[in-house]
């Protein structure tokens, strides 16, 4: 059984997954080391029990505090090899709105994006599927490009999927929507459809979790 606990921060969520082992997905933002200490205390887990930190993609609101989280837990940081430039630079690559919603959100958050605390050298780079059994988690990390070319998702055998920003809550309506920022929109849609074939509950960096039905409706709204 998976125990999944999102940590909702002001800008983006982090997610704790506990099975035989425990991993964190993204860092969320903004946060301080104390934010994480209190969260782990609430979840009754020793930070040193965290075995892996998965960064879903190279946007700062998802990796901002990877340095602090690695210090606190001693866990390695994993990301796609194409996220390396952003993590090393500690800043966002250019983002690409694919619709009006994306343009509105970018105007709204201009200058408010949480900065990354410092440049980060990740410990594990992947280009392909990566099994999580070694970390005591029944599931895998899979590349799911589209929102960014470095996007990955965590797919658990239990049916839960952590999608990063591929599916997010609209800041205006609160409804599930397919990422309004996308480097490759067609790939994004293909990968959201692929994830629907694996999962039944979709945890996001912004809002959520979303049911299959909510994701289906979000896809339908695009055509
Ligand atoms: Zn993003």
Domains of the chain with bracketed CATH? 3-220 (3.60.15.10)
Cα 155 to middle of ligand 1, angstroms: 18
Is pLDDT at 75 greater than 90 in this prediction?
yes
Ligand 1 centroid to 51 CA: how many Å? 24
Cα-to-centroid distance, 124 and ligand 1 (Å) = 20
Roughly what angle, to the nearest 10 degrees, separates helices 66-73 and 33-42?
50
Distance 175 CA to ligand 1 centre (A): 17
And the tokens for 27? Answer: 């860092």
Q: What is the 210 CA–ligand 1 centroid distance (Å)?
A: 17
Q: How confident is the model at residue 156 (pLDDT cuts 50, 70, 90)?
A: very high
Rounded to the nearest angstrom, the distance between the alpha carbon of 147 and the centre of ligand 1 is 7
Query: Ligand 1 centre from 32 Cα, in Å?
Result: 20
The answer to whether 153 touches 164, Cβ cutoff 8 Å, is yes
Cα 205 to ligand 1 centroid, rounded to whole Å = 8
Neighbouring residues of 112: CB distance < 8 A, sequence distance ≥ 6 = 11
Alpha-carbon gap, residue 106 to 101, rounded angstroms: 9
Residue 17 has pLDDT above 80, yes or no: yes
Asked if the model's pLDDT at residue 213 lies above 90, the reply is: yes
User: Is 134 strand, coil or helix?
Assistant: helix
**Cβ pair 90, 120 in contact under 8 A:** yes
pLDDT for 1? 81
**Cα 150 to averaged position of ligand 1 atoms, centre (Å):** 10
From the CA of 95, how far away is ligand 1's center (Å)?
A: 8
CA-CA distances (angstroms) from residue 38 to 44, 47, 59, 205?
10, 10, 25, 20
Is residue 138 classed as helix, strand or coil in its secondary structure? coil
**Residue pLDDT, tens place only, 194-209:** 999 989 999 999 999 9
Arithmetic mean of pLDDT over the chain: 96
What mean pLDDT is predicted for residues 87-100? 93
What pLDDT, on a 0 to 100 scale, did the predictor assign at position 97?
Answer: 96
Separation CA 175–CA 218 (nearest Å):
8
C-alpha of residue 85 to centroid of ligand 1, in Å: 15
The pTM for the full model equals 0.97
8 A C-beta contact, residue 218 and residue 175: yes
Distance CA 172, CA 136 (A): 38
**pLDDT for residue 223 is more than 80:** no
Q: What is the model's pLDDT at position 115?
A: 87
Cis status, amide bond into 30, omega within 30 of 0: yes
Between the alpha carbon of residue 184 and those of residues 73, 91, 146, 149, 167, the distances in Å are: 34, 20, 5, 8, 14
């Amino acid at each position: 059984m998976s125990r999944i606990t999102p940590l909702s921060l002001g800008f983006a969520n982090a997610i704790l997954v506990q099975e035989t082992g425990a991993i964190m997905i993204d860092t969320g933002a903004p946060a301080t080391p104390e934010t994480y200490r209190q969260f782990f205390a609430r979840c009754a887990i020793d930070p040193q029990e965290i075995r892996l930190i998965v960064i879903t993609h190279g946007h700062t609101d998802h990796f901002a505090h990877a340095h602090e989280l690695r210090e606190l837990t001693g866990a390695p940081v994993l990301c796609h090899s194409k996220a390396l430039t952003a993590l090393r630079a500690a800043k966002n690559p250019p983002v690409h709105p694919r619709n009006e919603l994306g343009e509105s959100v970018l105007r709204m958050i201009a200058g408010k994006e949480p900065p990354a605390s410092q440049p980060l050298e990740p410990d594990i780079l992947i280009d392909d599927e990566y099994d999580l059994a070694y970390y005591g988690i029944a599931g895998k990390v899979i590349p799911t490009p589209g929102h960014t070319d470095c996007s990955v998702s965590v797919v658990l055998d239990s049916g839960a999927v952590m999608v990063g920003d591929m599916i997010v809550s609209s800041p205006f309506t609160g409804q599930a929507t397919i990422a309004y920022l996308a480097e490759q929109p067609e790939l994004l849609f293909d990968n959201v459809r692929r994830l629907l074939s694996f999962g039944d509950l979709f945890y996001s960096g912004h809002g959520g979790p979303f049911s299959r039905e909510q994701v289906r409706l979000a896809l339908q709204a695009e055509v």
